[in-house]
Chains A and B, each alone.
Chain A
């Protein structure tokens, strides 16, 4: 599904962001990507959705070789991914349902199929009743649910979440995390970058930890370690 092989990523002015990172995430898996700010979590995700070019090594994402991807094929890759951010990235000038429908419209979905598909995902994230609310009328947790609905509406095989609970209070965090678990339970792989160790401890999922751009721990490969240690 997602396979990194000896991946290096250098930014022109920022030095090495990733150093020789290799891992393989299988279909349907739930993986935490952990590490301090600046450890390279977001960079890993950006390479997956081809926002940044790979410096060296190989990145394969559901059949695409990202390093060899032509710019015109990037949209095709992204249609197979769902992406969620800490800051939600909703369009403020339109209600929840249109924010979700937007993702279908830009990919050229059949127009008649859009309303039903939008309502289905909004129901899935528990926001069917607030379909017509504008983002400013929703709480942070609700806004993130809309963002997740938008990410899901194209039926991606992987959901990438970059600190999805970073802006949320504890209760909203639990709700959003439970939603991600439900989504994973229905077969979608979830890669969640987070530095919230409480969340990581709550669930028995695989953990990949980065430190200054290097992969220092992968629970699928390495020995399980003391849960109280600082990742």
Chain B
């Protein structure tokens, strides 16, 4: 086996407790990131399904000629943000109300005049389903002369969006704080390993080992610890996810790519922690 890899792995046998400590701290910091990540992922999913239902409804003045409406429909569908625009006549609005509002069926049956206005229901393309674009399109719809009123679920969209941003931000901040702790702990374990092996490092130098050669096993060791921490964190997150799924709500887990990113991030934390420490301490032995 390659000397670098062998030396890096030997660290786990030389200092099993310290190694376990670094792996655990990385695991926990990434677990926290993972939990908030799961919240963000699930909110994102929820938001997407809500957003799909978000539509803008333009109620039309009674007596608007059908020709104007068909023309307007074409115009609206030509908006870059718009996915579809569908005309709903007074009659079909009433029919839908009868079907959906079962409790009021009797009332609706006995009506002499249809009180419901005709409308155009507009759906936006997925990438434009945020509060800003919705408001923008709504304003443009209001500009048509025969449009009486425009309704859209502005508050809903804005609130969900805010919630998702908060979850992501909290996850990032708390995760970053834990990552810093993990980096410090990795740095400390590497520092102890360097000092503990000062004699050996001095001998390596004497027989002509390059600094890169001396540094490499420490870096690899940090990266391996980080990677293990990342794996444990994904495992813990999966455990939490399974519990939530069974007892609380139907939730989604990370995609393979997201899980891989967590492990990769762990490796980066480990690599960074050891790199920051090893250079500084190698100069002293």
A binding-site residues for B, Cβ under 8 Å: 49, 71-72, 75-79, 83, 89, 91, 102-103, 105-108, 150, 154
Of residues 200 through 224 on chain B, the ones whose CB sits less than 8 Å from some CB of chain A are 200, 202-211, 213-214
Complex: how many Å from CA A44 to CA B202? 19
**Residue from A71, A76, A77, A91 within 8 A of B199 (CB atoms):** A91
Can you sample 21 A-B contacts with CB below 8 Å? A71-B211, A75-B205, A75-B211, A76-B208, A77-B208, A78-B205, A78-B207, A78-B208, A79-B208, A89-B202, A89-B203, A89-B206, A91-B200, A102-B203, A102-B207, A106-B207, A106-B209, A106-B213, A107-B207, A108-B213, A154-B207
Contact size class for B?
10 to 19
Q: Are B210 and A72 in contact (CB under 8 A)?
A: yes
Asked if B199 contacts A106 (CB within 8 A), the reply is no
State the CA gap A76–B207 with chains docked (Å). Answer: 10
- A46 and B196 alpha carbons, distance in the complex (Å): 24
Asked, given contacts A89-B199, A91-B200, whether A154 binds B208 with beta carbons under 8 Å apart, the answer is yes
A91 and B208: CB pair below 8 A?
no
- Does B248 make an interface contact (CB < 8 A)? no
Decide if B200 touches A103 in the complex (CB within 8 Å): no
Residue B3 interfacial (CB < 8 Å): yes
Q: Which residues on A sit within 8 Å (CB–CB) of B207?
A: 78-79, 83, 102-103, 106-107, 150, 154
4 closest residue pairs by CB, A with B: A106-B209, A79-B208, A78-B208, A103-B207
A206 to B206, alpha carbons, bound, how many Å?
Answer: 26
Q: A78-B206, A83-B206 are in contact. Are A72 and B200 (CB under 8 A)?
A: no
Could you tell me the dominant secondary structure of chain B's interface residues?
A: helix
Q: Which residues of A contact B3 (CB under 8 A)?
A: 105-106
A75-B200 contact, Cβ under 8 Å, with A105-B3, A106-B3 = no
Chain B residues lying within 8 Å of A102, measured Cβ to Cβ, are 203-204, 207
Contacts known (A105-B3, A106-B3); A91 close to B209, Cβ less than 8 A: no
Contacts of A91 in B (CB 8 A): 199-200, 203
> How far apart sit A161 and B229, CA to CA, in the bound complex (Å)?
47
Q: Tell me the complex Cα distance, A230–B185, Å.
A: 57
Most buried by A among B202, B203, B207, B214: B207
What's the nearest-Cβ distance from chain A to residue B32, in Å? 38
Q: Which residues of B contact A72 (CB under 8 A)?
A: 210-211
Given A105-B3, A106-B3, A106-B204: A75 touches B209 (CB 8 Å cut-off): yes
Bound-state CA distance A49–B208 (Å) is: 10
Tell whether, in the assembled complex, residue A75 and residue B203 are in contact, meaning their CB atoms are under 8 Å apart: no
Across-interface contacts of B211 in A (CB, < 8 A):
71-72, 75
Residue of A nearest to B3 (CB): A105
When distances are taken between beta carbons in the complex, the residues of chain A under 8 Å from B200 are 91
The minimal Cβ–Cβ distance linking B13 to chain A, given in whole angstroms, is 11
Please give the distance in Å from A156's CB to the nearest CB on chain B.
10
User: Are the CB atoms of B208 and A75 closer together than 8 Å?
Assistant: yes
Q: A91-B200, A106-B207, A106-B213 are in contact. List 7 more A-B contacts (CB 8 A).
A: A49-B206, A75-B211, A83-B206, A83-B207, A106-B3, A107-B208, A154-B207
Q: Cα distance A72–B214 when bound, in Å? A: 13
Closest to B200 in A: A91
Contact with A along B83-101 (1 / 0, CB 8 A): 0000000000000000000
Closest to A108 in B: B213
For B213, the closest partner residue in chain A by CB is A106
**Which residues of the other chain, A, contact B203 by a CB distance below 8 angstroms?**
89, 91, 102
**B219 CB, min distance to chain A CBs, angstroms:** 16
- State in angstroms the CA–CA spacing of A215 and B203 once bound together: 29
Who on chain A is nearest to B207 by CB? A103
A105 neighbours in B (Cβ, 8 Å): 3
In the complex, chain A residues whose CB is within 8 Å of the CB of B199: 89, 91
> Which B residues lie within 8 Å of A76 (CB)?
208
CA of A107 to CA of B203 in the docked complex: distance in angstroms? 12
Binary flags per residue of B17-56, CB closer than 8 Å to A gives 1, else 0: 0000000000000000000000000000000000000000
Q: Inside 8 A of A108's CB, which chain B residues have their CB?
A: 213
Q: Compute how far the CA of A89 lies from the CA of B204 in the bound complex, rounded to whole angstroms.
A: 11
Which of B199, B204, B208, B213: most chain A Cβ within 10 A? Answer: B208
CB distance from A114 to the nearest CB of B (A): 10
Q: Which of B169-216 contact A (CB under 8 A)?
A: 199-200, 202-211, 213-214
In the complex, A77 Cα to B203 Cα: how many Å? Answer: 15
Bound CA span A156–B149, Å: 93
A106 to chain B: closest residue by CB: B209
